[in-house]
Amino acid sequence: MIDIKLIRENPEMVKENIKKKFQDKKLPLVDEIKDLDVRVREVQVKVDGLKAEKNRLSGEIGKLMKDKKIDEANEIKATIAKTADEISELEKEFEELTKTIKEKMMVIPQIIDDSVPVGKDDSENVENEKYGEPVVPEFEVPYHADIMERLAGLDKDSSGRTSGNGFYYLMGDVARIHSAMLSYARDFMINKGFTYCVPPFMIRSDVVTGVMSFEEMDAMMYKIEGEDLFLIGTSEHSMIGKFKDQLLKKENLPYTLTSYSPCFRKEVGAHGIEERGVYRVHQFEKQEMVVICEPEESMDWYNKMWNYTVEFFRSLDIPVRTLECCSGDLADLKVKSCDIEAWSPRQQKYFEVGSCSTLGDAQARRLGIRTKGEKGSYYLHTLNNTVLATPRGLIAFLENNVNEDGSVNIPEALRPYMGGVEKLVPKK
């Protein structure tokens, strides 16, 4: 949610930002909010004036009663009662106007960074840089589900019976390497100075609407029937919500946190759920990084964070690239975002394994996350980035480390988490 001062002082900039995001249907909202804001301030001035007059008149009653001017005192009492009714009506109007403004403001997209390329959708995202040589081996790399099955590590038939499409059982060595990658991701971020957290896996609706747009919520979140609780789609939701309505001490900034959680997503859309493999599923696990910092530090942290993910995947012998998200591909709360994509030697192209975003003060403004400086309190900036989301990260690992005989090499970084094992051998 942007600062309403932007609409008061520079509505054309807000409109231009909406156009850059190809959301022209939202353009009328700017003028609507501006008009409503004028009215709400008029109401506030009138209420303040009536309250002052009411207080003045109340002070006169005692003096009139003392002088035994009962009739005059009663006339003033009647005037005060009438004024009180008027104040009540105006306060009701003020409350309704404020609610309407907030609802409309929640739909206005965050002002994107000047460096964001303008484009309609993800097809116009821009490659930044490649890290590692994208190798295509001489043998044909199997589909990831086949690699897992040869290691006796994937059971989709059973998960179909228990849970339906979009779920899976990981077994044996595949389940172990899955856990090893998450443990390594946890320790990798701890070694970068981040504090490890395990957050709640359910959050209330006021936190959901504080961290994401309504469109994202509808497309992603599972609601718990009969309760004001949602299953999280990423631990960022819980981790940012942790600071809701808090005035944070400047000396404790920045907060640098790395969190583990399962994630649950509807995955509504044209892409659908992958039936055979585990690339797009309803349930996965994730190691996340979250930073809450001073506004002037957010871009520095943004660059540090995506670099950490690149470093993590390169330590697992996985070539990656970064892709700058264009304006039309940015969620409404994001200021700037890049995807980290891993090389798929089977498909001979890159695919997304993580995303790094700075949201400016959008989430902090919605959730009331502030600090206090010399000139008063102000909103902080929030950032999030994927360290590892698996099984998608597991797919990248398997494809880039599989051998022609179906065995899978274990990079040195993961061996301590695998009891020293250097290679997984097919079971069938």
Residue closest to 389 by CA, chosen among 418, 419, 423, 351: 351
Question: What is the tens place of the pLDDT at every residue in 71-104?
Answer: 788 888 888 899 999 999 999 999 999 999 999 9
Per-residue exposure over 412-428, b if at least 16 CB sit within 10 Å of its own CB, e if not: ebbeebbeeeeebebee
For 11-18, the CB contacts below 8 A with 24+ separation are 13/111, 14/108, 14/111, 17/109, 17/111, 17/112, 18/108, 18/109
- For the chain, give the percent of residues with pLDDT over 70: 98
Instruction: Give the pLDDT of residue 272.
Output: 61
Is residue 113 scored above 80 in pLDDT? yes
CA dihedral 324, 345, 131, 338 (to 10 degrees): 20
| Chain centroid to CA 188 | 22
> Which of 106-110, 267-271, 360-364 is least confident?
267-271
Which residue type sits at 320? V
Q: Strands of 255-264's sheet, edge to edge? A: 126-131, 320-324, 336-344, 349-358, 381-390, 283-293, 255-264, 195-197
pLDDT at position 219, please?
Answer: 80
Contact 174, 150 (CB under 8 A): no
Q: Encode pLDDT of 216-260 as tens digits.
A: 888 889 999 999 999 999 999 999 999 999 999 999 999 999 999
Residue 270 has pLDDT above 90, yes or no: no
Helix axes 70-105, 27-66, angle to 10 degrees: 160
CA-to-CA distance for 241 and 206, rounded, in angstroms? 9
Which residues are CB-neighbours of 406 under 8 A, at least 6 positions away?
142, 147, 150, 151, 426
What are the pLDDT digits (tens) for 7-37?
A: 999 999 999 999 999 999 999 999 999 999 9
User: What pLDDT score was predicted for residue 395?
Assistant: 97
In whole angstroms, what is the distance from residue 424 CA to residue 419 CA? 12
Contact present, 386 and 308 (Cβ < 8 Å): no
Residues of the chain with CATH 3.30.930.10: 122-424
HEC sequence for 162-182: HCCCCCCEECHHHHHHHHHHH
CATH 1.10.287.40 range(s) for the chain read 4-105
Q: Are 396 and 342 in contact (CB under 8 A)?
A: yes
Distance from C-alpha of 353 to C-alpha of 222, rounded to nearest angstrom:
22
Question: Could you tell me the pTM of the whole model?
Answer: 0.90
Using one digit for the tens of pLDDT, what is the confidence trace for 306-325? Answer: 999 999 999 999 999 999 99
The pairing of beta strand 408-409 with beta strand 423-424: antiparallel
Domain 4-105 falls under CATH 3.40.630.30: no
Please tell us whether the domain made up of 122-424 is placed in CATH 3.30.930.10: yes
Euclidean distance between CA atoms 333 and 355, whole angstroms: 14
- What's the CA gap between 77 and 246, in Å, rounded? 43
At 405, list the tokens.
Answer: 């005989």
Half-sphere exposure in the Cβ direction for 356 (13 Å, CA): 23
Contact 147, 399 (CB under 8 A): yes
Longest CA–CA span in the chain (Å) reads 107
With 0-12 CB in 10 A as exposed, 13-18 as middle and 19+ as buried, what is 373?
exposed
Contact 340, 354 (CB under 8 A): yes
Label residue 269 by pLDDT band (50, 70, 90): low
* Token pair 């179909």 in the structure block, residue: 160
